[in-house]
Amino acid sequence: MKNLDQKFRFLLTGVALGAVAFVAPTIAAEDDKPAKPAVAKKQDEDAEAKEEKADDKAEEAEDEDKKKKEKTIAEKVKDMTELDGLFKMYQDPKNGSLMMEVREDQLGKEFIYFSHTADGVVEGGHFRGQYRQQKVFRIEKHFNKLEFVEVNPYFYFDPDNALSKAKDANISSATIATHTIDAKSEDGKSYLISVTGLFQSEAFDQVKPTPNPRLKPWERFNLGKLNSAKTKIQAVNNYPENTAVTVNYVYSNPTPMNRGQWFEITDARNVTVSVQHTLVAMPENDFKPRFDDPRVGYFLDYVNDMTDHGATPWRDMINRWNLVKKDPSAEISEPVEPITWWIENTTPTELRPTIRKAVEAWNIAFEAAGFKNAVVVKEQPDDAEWDAGDIRYNVLRWTSSPQPPFGGYGPSFSNPRTGQILAADIMLEYTFLTNRMNASKVFESAALGLESQDSQMEDFMASVKGHGRNCNLAGHLQINNMLGKTLAAINEAGPQASEKLVEEAIYYLMLHEVGHTLGLNHNMKATQARAYDEAHDIDKQANGLAGSVMDYPSINFAPPGEKQAHYYTVTPGTYDIWAIQFGYDPDLDDPAKMEAHLARSTEKALVFGNDADDMRAPGKAIDPRVNIYDMTDDAVQFAQDRLRLDRDAMGKLRAKFTTEGQSYQELRNAYLILTADMAWQGRVASRYVGGVYVDRAVAGQDGATAPYRPVEKDKQEQAMKLLRDYIFAPDAFQADPALFQHLAIQRRGFFHFTSNEDPALHGRALSIQADILAHLLHPNTLMRITDSGLYGNSYDVTEMMTDLTDAIFEDDSRGAVNTFRQELQVHYVKRLIGILESDDYDYVARSNAFSSLKTLGKDMARWRGDAATRAHRDHLAFLIEKALEVHKG
Ligand SMILES: [Zn+2]
């Protein structure tokens, strides 16, 4: 229970922070301005106070008049433009100010608030189409004021339990804003309030991101202060079910320390972010919530049952559309209302047929759930009178941004009271189809960017857990495509290979993003559903290359001698169909049928594990089968095949990627992508060392194993051998000097002014090796190896650390140690010393580090070599001696 509470708090904080923390380098800071004189600061505060109370002040000023003569709403708005809808709005045609009418029957009722970024700048923490907040709110009347109050939907009390009378205890609601009533209707049943300030302020949604404390003020872009004079209401759209107000927020920062890196910021002193606030009527239908099950991966609206006695008192509701059969008695029926997707009119026309096909492909899953034509695709006409911001339309959107935060993103928002999905969009970035190295920073950075990429991703996932509907698949696929194209060129697969892999990638991307909008979250275990020896056998791939399209797989490139099958899976997989049935099949309202359906989860094709379970980052999670960049049920063997391919490709790189009359940028990119793949494949294999397979089946379920089973010893050893041969070996990163000599960037203006253009060969190799050591020697990994010794693991820390030391020292123990290995060996010894001295590690790990250092210390004195090797070994001997000295006394 305690854990759950903590998780909850985390979640709620995540929601409050909004969806912006991932743009780590760009997040603005309050504190990155030079200190101001006291007077100026005071003025700022005054300005802020004024801004917050703008409406009320105006109201107060009018109070005197009111006392003389109370005007009715009709009199008050007679010169204003009336916009009828969920909440009747009035806009002053002279100055654009906005008033809102609230009927008495709307007081105390629950509504849903939803916000998204209509347009923004990525460095300011916003991008077009970004889903932000969803919350439940009420409008309450308190004397002469109307209050907007956010309601906490995360707790449930059985209404029959007397405790439900105390259901508000220690759960705070949040007052968003308070507004004085300006006028009443003639019959006294409606109230008018001024809402210009409500929308133009950040009352509903924190528009300016919270600064990232890990970055120095000059490292992050700072929006500055909200400028109320320049901020304006851009549009008001009113419909019977929702009222939408779009605001252009202008932020001013007269003395920016960081002016933005990517040209997208026209002038850092004045930046506009456009946010749409939508007030939505609580749906009135007989939608039945469907409750979550840990064996299937849906996005959730979380609810704690406070009157339940069980070990898991949760009523978490899955997110799904309100799909109802037209003919409830029919086996298969059309839905009363299908899930309709609109292809935005900005979509390149040549892509539309592929997109349509991929979206409609989901209908096979819905047919299994009893629905015909559940998903419908339409095209937005060029002269459409609605735009993609209109939440009544689910739109497949295309943009081409300067620095895209994603290549694709499939968010949805739901009713927190029931889990019903109310709207969804999919954002796609044209960069996905280009060869633009949009991740160049990631690749070039000294640390390879793998860790920083992940921590950014994790920040992002954490910050939006409340929404949780975000995805970096397109970025992942684009990198895979670049790898595929590189390998295709090396292996002379012909230009059609590149075309095919890009087409399959778009198809896969669409399937995946649409899957999110149907409620499905990631299934990073899905590639395990495919047998290793079927990976290149297209006849066995009718159900896809994996159990699900919701994974981040490696591209399935055929090694020499194998025929090329699918690069990516191009149909919803067995798991996807099963999951859609779980979410949508009306027959499964019957608990017995539902139980039987879920009992199938132990089938190989239905394996599931999401981002929380995946092992992408060092030390994170425990089941190596849940991972990204992997493929098939023998991911270690698949990784080895690929590493062989990469090594072979490295030897041919220069010949293939040198084009007369052109610079060497393409060659450099190909080198970066190949070495990055070495890192990914090494990572995939490394997770098997000390790994534990997890089975989420319930007790007594057919085909279930124990929930925790340590990875077989020979599989762990196989992984360790792979790392020794392909990642740590003396020649792992060796290549023809002529290749290294040509890894040159193409100069562009002053772009490399602040960083040298060195290809940083040793740094790159070491960052890849260090990344894998960070996992193998992570406190969690070493502790788990020892722990799991109690329940079946027979590859203990002593054996593992001996194998690792041998992998790093044995092959050149008798001769010269090359400079790649010198770097690696010093790094490894320093890590061992770190373990010895750190309280983060268990004592078994520390004793083994001590023992390994002792042995190595003797070896360093014993082993000889050329002058450079002796210098290196003397250094190591000194480091070890110094570290062990501390432990003598
Ligand atoms: Zn995704």
Query: How confident is the model at residue 54, as a pLDDT?
Result: 59
Query: How confident is the model at residue 436, as a pLDDT?
Result: 53
In a domain, 62, yes or no: yes
In a domain, 779, yes or no: yes
Query: How confident is the model at residue 434, as a pLDDT?
Result: 65
> Ligand 1 center to residue 348 CA distance, Å?
22
Shared domain for 858 and 732, answered yes or no, is: yes
Query: How confident is the model at residue 289, as a pLDDT?
Result: 95
> Ligand 1 center to residue 720 CA distance, Å?
30
- 334-360 burial string, b = 16+ CB within 10 Å, else e? ebeebbebbbbbbbeeebeeebbebbb
> Ligand 1 center to residue 520 CA distance, Å?
9
Residue 395's beta-bridge partner residues? 342, 425
> Ligand 1 center to residue 409 CA distance, Å?
7
Shared domain for 61 and 191, answered yes or no, is: no
In a domain, 168, yes or no: yes
> Ligand 1 center to residue 471 CA distance, Å?
4
> Ligand 1 center to residue 132 CA distance, Å?
17
Measured CA to CA, the distance from residue 533 to residue 409 in angstroms comes to 33
| Phi, psi dihedral angles at 551 (to 5 degrees) | -100, 170
| Phi, psi dihedral angles at 364 (to 5 degrees) | -65, -35
> Ligand 1 center to residue 695 CA distance, Å?
23
Shared domain for 725 and 874, answered yes or no, is: yes
Please calculate the CA angle 491-496-502 and round it to the nearest 5 degrees: 95
Six token digits for residue 599: 């009992």
> Ligand 1 center to residue 552 CA distance, Å?
8
Q: For residues 730 and 822, is the Cβ–Cβ distance under 8 A? A: no
Shared domain for 60 and 201, answered yes or no, is: no
Q: For residues 326 and 361, is the Cβ–Cβ distance under 8 A? A: no
Shared domain for 50 and 152, answered yes or no, is: no
> Ligand 1 center to residue 609 CA distance, Å?
13
Query: How confident is the model at residue 167, as a pLDDT?
Result: 82
Q: For residues 638 and 556, is the Cβ–Cβ distance under 8 A? A: no
> Ligand 1 center to residue 428 CA distance, Å?
12
> Ligand 1 center to residue 291 CA distance, Å?
22
Shared domain for 81 and 61, answered yes or no, is: no
Query: How confident is the model at residue 391, as a pLDDT?
Result: 84
DSSP state of 71: -
In a domain, 393, yes or no: no
| Phi, psi dihedral angles at 885 (to 5 degrees) | -55, -45
436: left (phi over 0), alpha (psi -120 to 50) or beta: beta
What string of DSSP letters covers 112-123? EEEEEEEE--GG
> Ligand 1 center to residue 548 CA distance, Å?
11
> Ligand 1 center to residue 620 CA distance, Å?
19
> Ligand 1 center to residue 87 CA distance, Å?
35
Upper half-sphere CA count for residue 430 (Cβ side, 13 Å): 10
Shared domain for 850 and 832, answered yes or no, is: yes
Six token digits for residue 829: 């010894």
Shared domain for 104 and 125, answered yes or no, is: yes
> Ligand 1 center to residue 515 CA distance, Å?
8
Q: Give the amino acid at 450.
A: L
Measured CA to CA, the distance from residue 96 to residue 91 in angstroms comes to 6
Q: What is residue 870's three-state secondary structure?
A: helix
Q: Give the amino acid at 748.
A: R
Q: Considering only CA atoms, which of 136, 9, 612, 127 is closest in space to residue 414?
A: 136
Q: What is residue 343's three-state secondary structure?
A: strand
Q: For residues 110 and 124, is the Cβ–Cβ distance under 8 A? A: no
Residues in the chain: 889
**Following CA atoms 414, 149, 131, 201 in sequence, which dihedral angle do they give, to the nearest 10 degrees?**
160
Chunked into runs of 10 residues, the chain (889 residues) has average pLDDT values of 35 30 32 42 51 59 62 94 96 94 96 88 78 90 95 88 83 89 95 96 90 84 90 92 93 88 81 92 94 95 88 92 96 97 89 91 98 96 86 82 62 89 83 56 41 42 46 81 92 87 90 93 95 92 93 93 92 97 97 98 96 90 96 97 96 93 92 92 97 96 97 98 98 96 87 78 94 97 98 98 98 96 98 96 97 96 93 97 81
Measured CA to CA, the distance from residue 794 to residue 752 in angstroms comes to 51
Residue 412's beta-bridge partner residues? 424
- Sequence-separated (6 or more) residues with CB below 8 Å from residue 582: 290, 293, 296, 298, 588, 594, 597, 598
Q: Considering only CA atoms, which of 682, 707, 537, 552 is closest in space to residue 618?
A: 682
Measured CA to CA, the distance from residue 564 to residue 550 in angstroms comes to 22
> Ligand 1 center to residue 276 CA distance, Å?
24
> Ligand 1 center to residue 461 CA distance, Å?
11
In terms of Cβ atoms closer than 10 Å to its own Cβ (0-12, 13-18, 19+), residue 465 is buried
> Ligand 1 center to residue 222 CA distance, Å?
29
Neighbours of 77 (CB within 10 A): 21
Cα dist. 513→481, 516, 521, 790 in Å?
18, 5, 10, 42
| Phi, psi dihedral angles at 785 (to 5 degrees) | -60, -45
Of 282, 303, 325, the position where a domain reaches its end is 282
> Ligand 1 center to residue 512 CA distance, Å?
6
Residue 149's beta-bridge partner residues? 138, 175
> Ligand 1 center to residue 516 CA distance, Å?
6
Six token digits for residue 845: 């790990």
Query: How confident is the model at residue 469, as a pLDDT?
Result: 56
Of 231, 256, 282, the position where a domain reaches its end is 282
The H or E element spanning position 184 is strand 183-184
> Ligand 1 center to residue 51 CA distance, Å?
40
Shared domain for 65 and 214, answered yes or no, is: no
In a domain, 769, yes or no: yes
Measured CA to CA, the distance from residue 264 to residue 482 in angstroms comes to 25
> Scanning the structure block, which residue is given the tokens 């075309």?
499
Of 282, 317, 338, the position where a domain reaches its end is 282
> Ligand 1 center to residue 12 CA distance, Å?
22
> Ligand 1 center to residue 505 CA distance, Å?
13
Q: Which domain, by its residues, includes 747?
A: 662-889
> Ligand 1 center to residue 22 CA distance, Å?
16
> Ligand 1 center to residue 362 CA distance, Å?
16
> Ligand 1 center to residue 261 CA distance, Å?
27
| Phi, psi dihedral angles at 854 (to 5 degrees) | -60, -50
> Ligand 1 center to residue 130 CA distance, Å?
15
In a domain, 681, yes or no: yes
pTM, full prediction: 0.87
> Ligand 1 center to residue 481 CA distance, Å?
17
DSSP state of 558: P
Shared domain for 876 and 784, answered yes or no, is: yes
Number of domains in the chain: 3
Shared domain for 851 and 712, answered yes or no, is: yes
Six token digits for residue 396: 């497949």
Measured CA to CA, the distance from residue 837 to residue 882 in angstroms comes to 12
Please calculate the CA angle 718-719-723 and round it to the nearest 5 degrees: 115
690: left (phi over 0), alpha (psi -120 to 50) or beta: left
> Ligand 1 center to residue 309 CA distance, Å?
35
In a domain, 882, yes or no: yes
In a domain, 386, yes or no: no
Shared domain for 58 and 79, answered yes or no, is: no
